[in-house]
Structure 1
Amino acid sequence: MNRGYFADMSELKQHSGKIAVANKILIPAMAAVKFPALEVNYSDGTGLKLPIASNGDDVVDRSDVPQASLLCLSFRASSQSMVDSWSVPFLDAFGNSGKVQLYEVSLIDSWFLSLSLVKRLLLRMMRKSSPDGREGVLQRQIVYSFGDHYYFRKELKILNLLTGYIFLLDKFGRIRWQGFGLATQEELSSLLSCTSLLLEDK
């Protein structure tokens, strides 16, 4: 878990961030594991706990719970293009759905950037540079998580910090599909069909 940058870079050169092939089908509900709780902040400083699930403590109204959530994780700015390769087509496909949520999560491990004052300044800068959302019901929600993510990464078996990690969750916050690195057309088709199946699930 504590391997260095050069090990990650060496691995990245071998497979360009594609550390594994994405799921072709939905992970069965009985075999699916819960996505670990993660505290995040919007650029305006507002806090949120992910995932938003029907058995979550923070959910007051059951109608606020999405049928499906796509969480795109990046630990380094260099993986943003990987995240975009998944999130943009997802947004195009489900832009008019009120039952889906899309979060792009930047995880910031630096103890210095996690200091209260520095964190506030950084979030203010992010607010100025945040891209405008597209028209539609579904919006790309960009959030940030500060602090030590060792145990969070351990639960999700995340080793390489230079690639992007994509998780499709159901309404109970369970991981039903997973992708890595840059999306291929076949993987995108799999993601979109698996999301549609979750939306049909009552």
Structure 2
Amino acid sequence: MLRWLSRPVWRGFGGDYGVVRGMRVSAVVRGEANKEGTGLKSEVEGAGSEDRLGKALVRESSSSPEEMNTRPLPYLSFALGVATAPSSSSATWAETRDRLVSTEHRMATRKAIIQQATRGYFHDFHAIKSHGGKTWRAPNTLIKSSRSLYFPKFTGSRLSDKAKCNTVDILRNKISVIALLGSKISEEHTKSFYQPTLDTFATHPNFQLVQINLQQNPLKSYLVSLFISSLRNHIDARFHSTYLLSSDNIELIKDALGYHNKHVGYTYLVDESGRIRWAGGAFAEHAECTALKACTGVLLDRFRDHAKSTTKK
């Protein structure tokens, strides 16, 4: 079967989506750093959804990890997220049917199946040897609001009371730093990004830290559910209400989130409308850590000013 998949399918999907067994993730499509400087008044020009879907976010390389470590990482050069704002309500039968039979959904499903079938089980583990699993650098500034895309909907159980909830409701009317994690090391990845920001804005009424513990493996998800009490002791009680245990399948939106490695933690800055305005992955570099803190402050100031102007009217 793999022999049948190896050649004709690559031509059908185009070179950008080709994946070859045994090759390692190297980098995002090359993007220049924002040439307008690092000032917060200049914002990243995120590509529109049509442009972004025509690009491959991840490239494959047969180069060794040692060789890849000598090459500089590119900056994230376009917006992450989904083009359509997610809804907090469950999809109707008709909506589910239309989605499943759509050409876009079938092509995305086929692409995901091919990637899974042609990648080794330890692919992500070996990819960590290159830049610690980091495949792109976070931007120095915010992604423009007009070009930003939406953070997709995640569902799961809240750590505080095991109640079912979703990120659409959690993120509404808040400036949120989202930590997407699935292991202890990925938790440390996200913490390296958000800790200085949390230290500064933890008491701000319009700020929140949202942690999504994503376990796509059914067995691992079940094991995590057995140790919720231990998890509650490990996580600061202040964040129990915004800590989500999820088992959602994100295979079809991994590229949209820049989620290249299941062993890596990813951090997103999301505005009050649920749009991704900044993102980073793996362990934070000093400049990335500083950028998240500064960008969070900018969004909080804008949100406050907008609320004041609305109140006056």
TM-score norm. by structure 1 comes to 0.80
Pick closer, same or farther for the CA change 1:48–1:27 going to 2, 3 Å. Answer: same
**Maintained 8 Å contact 2:154/2:246:** yes
Alignment of 1:90-169 (within 5 A): 90-114=197-221, 120-127=225-232, 129-133=233-237, 139=239, 141-169=242-270
**How much has 1:178 moved relative to structure 2?**
0.6
1:77 is aligned to 2:179: no
Deviations, residues 31-72 of structure 1 (Å, cap 9, x unaligned):
100000111322231222114344xxxxxxxxxx21x10101
**Maintained 8 Å contact 1:36/1:155:** no
**How much has 1:75 moved relative to structure 2?**
2.7
CA RMSD, Structure 1 to Structure 2 (Å) = 2.2
| Aligned counterparts of 1:183 and 1:90: Cα–Cα separation in 2 | 12
In structure 2, the partner of 1:29 is: 145
Pick closer, same or farther for the CA change 1:100–1:15 going to 2, 3 Å. Answer: same
Deviations, residues 114-147 of structure 1 (Å, cap 9, x unaligned):
56xx6753434433x333346xxxx474321124
1:180 is aligned to 2:281: yes
Show structure 1 runs of 5+ residues with no match.
55-64
| Aligned counterparts of 1:69 and 1:166: Cα–Cα separation in 2 | 10
**Maintained 8 Å contact 2:197/2:296:** no
Percent of residue pairs bearing the same amino acid type: 28
1:7 is aligned to 2:130: no
Alignment of 1:57-76 (within 5 A): 65-66=173-174, 68-76=175-183
The letter of the residue matching 1:70 is V
Comparing 158-167 and 139-148, the one that deviates more: 139-148
Pick closer, same or farther for the CA change 1:121–1:183 going to 2, 3 Å. Answer: same
In structure 1, the partner of 2:135 is: 19
Matched position secondary structure for 1:151 = coil
| Aligned counterparts of 1:12 and 1:175: Cα–Cα separation in 2 | 25
In structure 1, the partner of 2:6 is: none
Show structure 2 runs of 5+ residues with no match.
1-114, 307-313
**How much has 1:73 moved relative to structure 2?**
0.6
In structure 2, the partner of 1:60 is: none
TM-score norm. by structure 2 comes to 0.54
Q: Which structure carries more helix by proportion? A: 2
**How much has 1:86 moved relative to structure 2?**
1.7
The letter of the residue matching 2:268 is F
Q: Which structure carries more strand by proportion? A: 1
**Maintained 8 Å contact 2:194/2:289:** no
The letter of the residue matching 2:235 is P
The letter of the residue matching 2:192 is S
Deviations, residues 146-184 of structure 1 (Å, cap 9, x unaligned):
242323424324221111111100110000001111112
| Aligned counterparts of 2:227 and 2:237: Cα–Cα separation in 1 | 20
Matched position secondary structure for 1:196 = helix
In structure 2, the partner of 1:88 is: 195
| Aligned counterparts of 1:109 and 1:121: Cα–Cα separation in 2 | 16
The letter of the residue matching 2:203 is N
In structure 2, the partner of 1:200 is: 301
| Aligned counterparts of 1:34 and 1:107: Cα–Cα separation in 2 | 19
Pick closer, same or farther for the CA change 1:123–1:22 going to 2, 3 Å. Answer: same
Highest RCO, 1 vs 2 (Cα 8 Å, sep ≥ 6): 1
**How much has 1:106 moved relative to structure 2?**
1.1
Comparing 72-81 and 34-43, the one that deviates more: 72-81
**Maintained 8 Å contact 2:189/2:282:** yes
